Amino acid sequence: MNKSLDFHLQNSTYAIFHSNDSRYQDLSLNMLYEELNAASLNDVIEDCDDTETPYGTCISPWDAANCLLDTARTVKFVRGLAAAIRKKRKKQSGKKVSILYAGCGPFATLALPVTALFNPNQIGFTVLDIHEASIKNAQRIVEIMNISAYFDDFVCQNALDYPSANQDKKFDIIITETMTAGLLNEPQAAITTALSDMLEPDGIFVPEQIIIGVKLKAEKILNQPAIPLGTIFLLTKDTKPDKYIPLLKANTKTPPTAEDGLEYGIMLTTQIKIFGPHILQEGESAITMHVPIKKTYKKEDGSQIRIAYPLGGGINEVRVKAF
């Protein structure tokens, strides 16, 4: 066991579950990141690039590792996962909770703190990533920390291909965080669609909901609140858009509070309901930042706005039309 790494994992686990001091959480997660980096196969990680798929970009192991430093995201996803495990354990009367973690990255970031809360006979992770470098490094970290008993399998495979190769497997919980704001660029929507059928009948998908909305923001006017136009897409385990290449098509109406003659920017909003009360609000994390998709909209251009883009596509694929 690496004593320094173990200490910083314990410290980060305490910060995640027993503190709401964001500075303490930032510091503890940064120190954990440094320890994980020091124990990693850095030459292997740094030589591996993004992988492009028709459904979005699977970011490189290096970029995936850096996601740990998005404190709000890490804290709330780990808290949500732990809450989901507790709920399943209550229902299952001692049966081991099986968890599929898709897009685990080189640190298996969301799994590590959870191992400090449960015994290995209570939970079992199958970790999955498209990059061999991530799987090799995650396995190394787990072995160094002497927590291999919590991990049932390490799988290097595209998450979209995993169900067809494992048709008899079912999981109590599936977790994936493979996204950017607006469900652009990365394959969260496609992965959710592909893996949700691998849940047990009462299984839990984490996150439970991803809510994409639209707002208007007046240009050149400071301190004026953005005007919400409503939700245009809701991603859950039960969402079944076109297989693997979901195309978002939505219309939204301009509210009366929009002023004639003013120029507005149109932006996508993101809120993530991870599990239960654990929610990433708009602007709280890199993956819930507002995404500008069109400037210089005027109310006179039309009372309705149509937005269309492939989920997992790039910002340049977003189409906006007022009518």
Residue carrying the six token digits 């799994």: 111
Q: What beta strand segments (E) does the chain contain?
A: 51-53, 56-58, 97-102, 123-129, 151-156, 171-176, 199-206, 209-218, 227-235, 247-253, 263-275, 278-280, 291-298, 304-310, 319-322
Cβ atoms of 144 and 178 within 8 Å: the answer is: no
Q: Which domain holds residue 114?
A: 3-322
CATH (domain of 215)? 3.40.50.150
Taking 50 as the pLDDT cut, the residues of the chain under it are none
Q: What is the pLDDT of residue 255?
A: 82
101 near 158, Cβ under 8 Å?
Answer: no
Give the whole-number percent of the chain exceeding pLDDT 90: 82
Query: What's the confidence (pLDDT) of residue 171?
Result: 98
Least Cα distance to 318 among 244, 256, 232, 253 occurs for 232
The domain total for the chain is: 1
Q: CA 123, CA 169: separation in Å to the nearest integer?
A: 16
Q: Are strands 227-235 and 291-298 parallel, antiparallel or unpaired?
A: unpaired
pLDDT in tens, 165-209: 999 999 999 999 999 999 999 999 999 999 999 999 999 999 999
- pLDDT tens, position by position, 201-230: 999 999 999 999 999 999 888 788 899 999
8 Å CB contact between 156 and 131: yes
